[in-house]
Structure formats: structure tokens, C-alpha cells
Structure 1
Amino acid sequence: MVGAVRQSVNGVDLGRALRELREASGKEAKAVARSALMSPSKLSKILNGKMAPSVADVERILAALDVPPEVSAQLAAAARTVATEATAWRIYRRSGLHKHQEEIRAIESQAKSLRVFQASCIPGLLQSPEYIRSILQTSGLSDESLEKMVGARVCRQEVLHESRRRFSFLVTESVLRWRLVRPAMMAAQLDKLVKVSRMANISVGVVPLIALMPEPPTCSFVLFDARMAVVEIPHAEVTARDPRDVEQYVRKYESFERVALLGDAMREFVERIRDEYVTEQETA
């Protein structure tokens, strides 16, 4: 079929199978799209074989259709067979980075626990609006796109207040010291980091530079429960769902957590660096 992107795995045509399930359910496509947290046009492309669905897309559509567990398990397994996806950042910029934030928010809303390791900047869920705006100003976004991006990322942070979810963040000391924004902004950002760390469902750890590193911190990544890892590399975002691949990132996270400062020790450490920024700002 010209123009189609059929994703057939082990004889299962995912688009066609999902379309038939939607028709059998009697549910309107718009209602299914709304429940699956995607646009009607995206759902239409998936069901008609014009877009290969991600595993997350398949899982959300199946949940919206209330598919029997045995059927859901079969199709989800077929989708996971193609377990690693890489999407170039230029693709997200083309469609709108703020829309990608909404997609991430949809994935986060389905996870009971998130573990974030960052070696380059403050994790998005912990960033202040000023920090977000400042680090994105060199990304080539228009003023309108930049403000949409700031708003979308701040909106994502609402999930932190859902007490039934568990959030764990690890950053390297270098993240606290990178001169990505002005000293006053960094001081305010580190204040936010300390404040958030006091929430009952949130853990924040810092891997100090003097720690004996278990391995090089080669990339930043997010673990959604223990079923999916999203890895940031310079040109793309890579999503891994194969359990063997995800387990590598689980082990990596746990190895850094063992040498990280946590709780009061972390807060005292961050506050000392915050005070350095404050002093620098006052004497500038």
C-alpha cells in the first residue's frame, strides 16, 4: 500500500489489529483518541497504517479500548518486539517541542515511579521557569515557541504533587556548577531543588565530584517504572523497552545512587553551592 507504514510483527499488523478492535468496541475514534492522550489525526494515521505506533501508543490505545487482557498482552508484546526507537531532536523541533512535552507528560501520568539521572542539567521536572527559559534561549526557538515550551514543562511538574507516585532524581555535582545561567538564577534554582527534596514522595541525590565513580556518566536517562528507559543523546532521544536493555539502566542508576549524597547531607551540600552563587552575585 503506497504511503503506508505497516508495522507487522510476527504476523501481527498492529495498525489493522487496532483498527479492528476500535470498530468492534463501538467507540468513536475521537473518544478513543482523547482517552489515549493523542490527537485524532495521530490515531487515524496509526489505525490506517500511515504511522508506525510506539509501544506507548499501543498500550494507551489498548487501555482506551478496554481490550481483554490476553489480547492486550499479545499486541503489547508484538509492539515491544520492535523495542528501541530513536527520534531526532530536529523532528521534535519541527512538530513543536512543547507538543513533545505533552507526550512525555502522558507517559509520566501512567508510571508509578520515575527515576531520573542527569549529568548535564537540572532535570526538567525540577527546573524553574527562569532556568527553562534561559537554557533554551540558544536553541533557535521563536519567542512564541519558547514560551509554549516553558509553559508545557511547568505544566508537567504538576505530577510531582501526586503523592501516590514516587520520584527519584540523581544529578552529578557538575550539574549544580555548570554556568548555564546567571548566578542569581542558579541560586534560585538550587533553592527549588532543596525545597522539592523535602516532599515525601520525592528523593533527590547528588553524586559529588570526590566520589569514586562506579562508571563514567556518559548519558542522561529516565526510567519509567522498570519497563522503559528514555535516553538523551546529542542528536536524538532513544526509547528502550526490551527488559534486557532497561535492566542496564536500572543497574546504572543504582550504581550512582550508592555513591550519592541523599537527605540532609544532600541539602547541606546543595545549600553550600547555592551560597557561593549568592556571594558571587552580591560581589559582582
Structure 2
Amino acid sequence: MPRSASSSVQRARQALAGRLRELVTDSGLEGRQVAALCGWHPSKVSRISTGKTQPSADDIRAWCQACGAQDQTDDLIASLRAVDEMWVSWRRMERAGLRRPQEARLPLYERTRWFRAYSPGLLPGLLQTFGYTEDVLRAVQRRRVAIDDVADAVAARMERQSVLREGRRRFAFLVEESVLGNGLGNADTQAEQLDHLLAVAGLPNVSVGVVPVRLGRVRMPVEGFWIFDSAQVNVELVSGYLTITEPSEIKAYADTFATLAGMAVYGGRARVLLAKARDSLV
């Protein structure tokens, strides 16, 4: 991942590096002495302590051993894993198939009360029908996943949709108009999906906005993202899955969502666009 991709990730990496530097200071050792005790070149200690290189779990164990701080090893490894989870490549996330990533997101959905989602390419997962989801995940599996557990992954995503009707949750979805005619499957699947979208949009706790195709936009389409309450943003990039927790970055996405929401149409005007997309399938 580019080092500038998220200040949330960089801050977490720097915080871990700072804790490792503190262990060296508290031990009374110098960096080259830590390197010698670990059997490393001194430059490795320098890169880790400045956050230029992320340590492995084994590096942390050796570092703590050299500094006489074995009691801090578990906490520091836990911090390392938290940093790792902020940016996960698709290859790493999906190495055991597509089902586990779908199931792993369920606790986040269950504890969230206010969902905001923007999608420039496909309908968000919570709005998808079984057939549409199957087409989407099958395309993902063919493109980058050797294991075929699409059926289980679809079932997991369908289970997650229960949050739409359980508890006191609010949902605001924004999609680009092009999404309405951008299906991977056949006309029947797309028609069913558009009908389902109309039904879900009628729920009292759900808002569905469509950003029309038109000239003079004040904000061009951006990458798809989800905002969970005001605590976390997840972004799906070409190369992986980014988790953002830095308040200033969350605000940037919230402001972008608000701008796009102001450009969208709702209610009857949105239904006109949905009907237009459905009619084009005939």
C-alpha cells in the first residue's frame, strides 16, 4: 500500500515504532546494541524504530528480549496485528475463500447504528438480491480467488442483511445512476434487483439516493466507501481493503458523502430513474 494512502495507518505504525523506541530508551541500550543482541544489521533497528519498516511478530519478540521487556511482548504483537488489519490486500483477505471475509464483517454491522454507503460501480451489499450477489461474488472469485465457496459467501452476505430490519438502525445509501444499469448478470436478475431496490427504499429507516448522470457536477465520483456510525470508514480499493479510524479522515469521507447526497435525487425522482433503468432491460 502507498505510504500516503491513509494517515490512520501511518499514525498506527508510528505509534508502534514509538513504543519500541521507548523500550530501547528504558533499557539504557543504544540501537546498535539492540541490533547486536538480535543478530541484525544496525540499519534494521533504525528502520523499525522510525516506522520505515514494519516489524514482524518475531522481530518484536527479539526486540523485547534484547531490551529485557518480555512482559510487553504480547501487547506489542497485538498492536502489530491491529495495524495489519487496517490495510489488508485482497490476496491476503481471500486466501481461504470468500466466505470468511463476509462473515468477518458481521460483528461490525451488528454494533453499528448509523450506516452511510456510497457506491459508484455496484449496488451496496445490503441492497443486493441473492441473484445479484451471486453474480458479483462469482465475478470476484473468477478474477482473483482459487477456492470456490461462492455459495457459502452469498449465504453469509444474505444473513448480514438482517440488520436492515433488526434494531433501531438508520441507513443512507448513495449510488451513481450508472449503477442501475451496470449489472453483471442477465436482464431477469437485473429486473429483480431493481424491484428489490424499490422495496427496500420504502423502509422507514432506509434512504436511497441516486446521483444522476448530468453535466455541471460539483463533485465527481470517488471510490466506494462505507461509514459506520462516526467511528470507522471502510474503503474497497483495487488492491485491498482499507480501514480508517482517524477522525480527520472520517470527517473527510462524511463531508464527501454529504456533498454527494446533496447532488442525489430521492423518492419520486429516484423512482423515475429506476423505472427508466428497468424499461431499458426490455
Give TM-score, length-normalised by structure 2.
0.69
Q: Distance in 2 between matches of 1:211 and 1:256?
A: 14
What is the letter of the counterpart of residue 108 of structure 2?
I
Q: Once the two structures are superposed, what CA deviation does each residue of 1:115-135 show, in whole Å capped at 9, x if it has no partner?
A: 000001010111111111112
TM-fit CA distance, 1:223? 0.2
Sort the Cα spacing of 1:51 and 1:242 in 2 relative to 1 into closer, same or farther, 3 A. closer
2:131 is paired with a residue whose SS is helix
- Contact 2:118 2:175 (C-alpha < 8 Å) held by counterparts: yes
Aligned equivalents of 1:211 and 1:153: distance in 2?
36
CA distance in 1, matches of 2:183, 2:154: 20
> In structure 1, what is the Cα distance between the partners aligned to 2:147 and 2:188?
23
List alignment gaps of at least 5 residues for structure 2: 1-14, 21-73
Q: 1:234 aligns with which of 232, 238, 243?
A: 238
CA-atom RMSD in angstroms: 2.7
Change (3 A) 1:192 1:209: same
1:132 alignment counterpart: 133
Q: Where does 1:171-210 land on structure 2 (aligned, <5 Å)?
A: 171-210=175-214
The answer as to whether partners of 1:86 and 1:236 remain within 8 angstroms in 2 is: yes
Q: Does structure 2 conserve the Cα–Cα contact (< 8 Å) formed by 1:212 and 1:259?
A: no
Partner Cα separation in structure 2 for residue 231 and residue 187 of structure 1:
28
SS at structure 1 position matched to 2:117: strand
The match for 2:150 is: 146
CA contact (8 A) 1:191 1:271 kept: no
Distance 2:255 2:149 in 1: 37
- Between the aligned partners of 1:89 and 1:249, the Cα distance in structure 2 is 22
Contact (CA 8 Å) 2:174, 2:210: kept in 1 or not?
Answer: yes
TM-superposed deviation, 1:52: 3.3
Alignment of 1:32-71 (within 5 A): 49=77, 52-54=80-82
TM-superposed CA distance for 1:256, in Å, is: 0.5
Identity rate of aligned residues, in percent?
A: 30
Structure 1 residue 104: Cα displacement: 1.3
The corresponding residue for 1:164 is: 168
Structure 2 counterpart of 1:116: 117
Task: Tell me, in whole angstroms, the C-alpha distance in 2 between the residues paired with 1:261 and 1:130.
Answer: 26
Q: Is the 8 A contact 1:213 1:256 kept in 2?
A: no
Report the equivalent of 1:95: 96
The TM-score, its normalising length taken from structure 1, stands at: 0.69
Structure number with bigger Rg: 2
Q: Per-residue CA shift, 1:207-247, capped at 9, x if unaligned?
A: 01026322221200000011211011111011110000111
Residue pair 2:122, 2:183 contacting (<8 A) in 1 also:
no
